[in-house]
Amino acid sequence: MEKRVLGMILALVGVVGLILAGINFINGGASTHNVKQIILYGVLGAIFFFAGVGLIRNTRDRAT
């Protein structure tokens, strides 16, 4: 159960990171700082999202 909760938290953090990357992409200019920020948020968001989804999918429920 704890792994599933951690997976949900990681997935939510990943979604937030991907949303921030999208917002920066839509609102930002072409400066180097903005491009680095978009890449950073996008990559970290994807890592957290897929790690969270992997934890949720691979954790089996046990009857207690």
Q: What pLDDT does residue 9 have?
A: 95
Expressed as residue numbers, the domain containing 23 is: 2-58
Which of 42, 53, 57 minimizes the C-alpha distance to 10?
53
pLDDT at 52 over 90: yes
pLDDT the model gives residue 3: 86
Scanning the chain, the segments in alpha helix (DSSP H) are 2-27, 32-58
Q: What's the average model confidence in pLDDT over 20-45?
A: 89
Residue 43 to residue 60: CA distance in whole angstroms: 28
Percent of the chain at pLDDT exceeding 70: 95
Contact in structure between 25 and 8 (CB atoms under 8 Å):
no
**Average pLDDT of the segment spanning 57-62:** 81
Q: How confident is the model at residue 2 (pLDDT cuts 50, 70, 90)?
A: confident
Total tally of structural domains belonging to the chain? 1
63 assigned to some structural domain: no
| Residues contacting 9, CB < 8 A, separation 6+ | 52
